[in-house]
Amino acid sequence: MNPPREEVGEFTKLLNGFMTLMRRFIFKVLCVGPIPNHISFIMDGNRRFAKKHNLQGLDAGHRAGFVSVTYVLQYCQEIGVPYVTLYAFGLDNFKREPQEVKCMMDLMLEKIELTIDQAISGNVKNVKVIFAGDLNLLNDRLKAAAQRLMEVTEENKGLVVVVIVAYSTSHEIVQAIKESCVRKCEGGDSPQVLKVSDVEECMYTSIVPDPALVIRTGGIDRLSNFMTWQTSRSLLHTTAALWPELGLWHLVWAILKFQRMQDYLQKKQKVD
Ligand code: IPE
Ligand code: MG
């Protein structure tokens, strides 16, 4: 005989409460050590997840991936990480089948619009969302929604989430050099006196400090043209877990590794 539905509901509530307590305790212990001030996530493995679980629909894996995004952001907020970047869509991803690209764009629009509604109704108080990348390559509706979400969360304090779309570091560097030359000329200087800092100021990602920790899911140890300029001193942590499988323990493990490597990372900050 199955237990009555109310009892199952009570049990789930109790279990959730217990898990939240456990998580808070784990984070308290974790926060005794240094916490990365900026974590970047290369979210890979959505389609493999869909295949593994026999999920139907071109966007099934990406939908599952979005659930991971919400959890990961909640954990980062609870841990007190100030900046998070999410590699949501690379320039290379435009080369996928047009139907898949459309599905991914539609899903992004759906989630952005949902987040705008939540932000307007006051449910996204502690998160500021910024989109970075060549936003002109997005369709008009998506671009407008991204801009709207940036506006409605602009004043929010707390976690800064940078969603990286239509991006590659090579593209970012080229546009930054072009932009810094324009700024030099407008300021009456010659572009020949361009400094590294001039270019850095014009990067899409100049709004955030360089990542301290990069976490890549999906079992592949590469950066895929993601913030390669900004990650020369970052710790790279890869995990075989597919992005929708990324859980609390993967994140805790990556931060513990960051803490264990602190001496080395600090030395590198000074020497390079
Ligand atoms: C990552 O998952 C999705 C993006 C952020 C573009 P993939 O779509 O690359 O899934 P796999 O790696 O093929 O499984
Ligand atoms: Mg992939």
- What is the tens place of the pLDDT at every residue in 232-245? 999 999 999 999 99
Among left, alpha and beta (phi > 0; psi -120 to 50; other), residue 211 is: beta
Q: Looking at residues 180-196, what average pLDDT do you find?
A: 88
pLDDT of residue 1: 64
Tokens of 46: 């959505």
Distance separating alpha carbons of residues 205 and 229, to the nearest angstrom: 10
Percent of the chain's residues with pLDDT above 70: 99
Place of tokens 């996928």: 96
Is residue 44 flagged as an active site residue?
yes
User: Of all atoms in ligand 1, which is nearest to the CA of residue 51?
Assistant: 14
Which residue's C-alpha comes closest to atom 6 of ligand 1?
89
User: Of all atoms in ligand 1, which is nearest to the CA of residue 89?
Assistant: 6
User: Of all atoms in ligand 1, which is nearest to the CA of residue 49?
Assistant: 14
| Rg (alpha carbons) of the chain, rounded to whole number | 20
Element (H, E) at 239: none
Place of tokens 């072009």: 178
Q: Which amino acid is at 9?
A: G
- What is the tens place of the pLDDT at every residue in 29-86? 999 999 999 999 999 999 999 999 999 999 999 999 999 999 999 999 999 999 999 9
Which residue's C-alpha comes closest to atom 1 of ligand 1?
44
Confidence of residue 188 (pLDDT cuts 50, 70, 90): confident
Task: Quote the ligand 2 centre to 217 CA distance (angstroms).
Answer: 9
Distance separating alpha carbons of residues 116 and 111, to the nearest angstrom: 9
Percent of the chain's residues with pLDDT above 90: 87
Task: Quote the ligand 1 centre to 89 CA distance (angstroms).
Answer: 9
Exposure on the CB side of residue 136, measured as CA atoms within 13 A = 3
Say which CATH superfamily domain 36-168+210-218+232-271 falls into.
Decaprenyl diphosphate synthase-like (3.40.1180.10)
pLDDT of residue 270: 66
Place of tokens 């932000």: 119
Confidence of residue 190 (pLDDT cuts 50, 70, 90): confident
Domain spans, the chain: 36-168+210-218+232-271
Count other Cβ atoms within 10 Å, centred on residue 113.
15
271 has pLDDT over 80: no
pLDDT of residue 50: 98
Task: Quote the ligand 2 centre to 185 CA distance (angstroms).
Answer: 41
Task: Quote the ligand 1 centre to 40 CA distance (angstroms).
Answer: 16
Distance separating alpha carbons of residues 211 and 42, to the nearest angstrom: 12
- What is the tens place of the pLDDT at every residue in 108-133? 999 999 999 999 998 888 999 999 99
**Which residues have any ligand 1 atom within 6 Å of their CB?**
43-48, 88-89, 93, 218
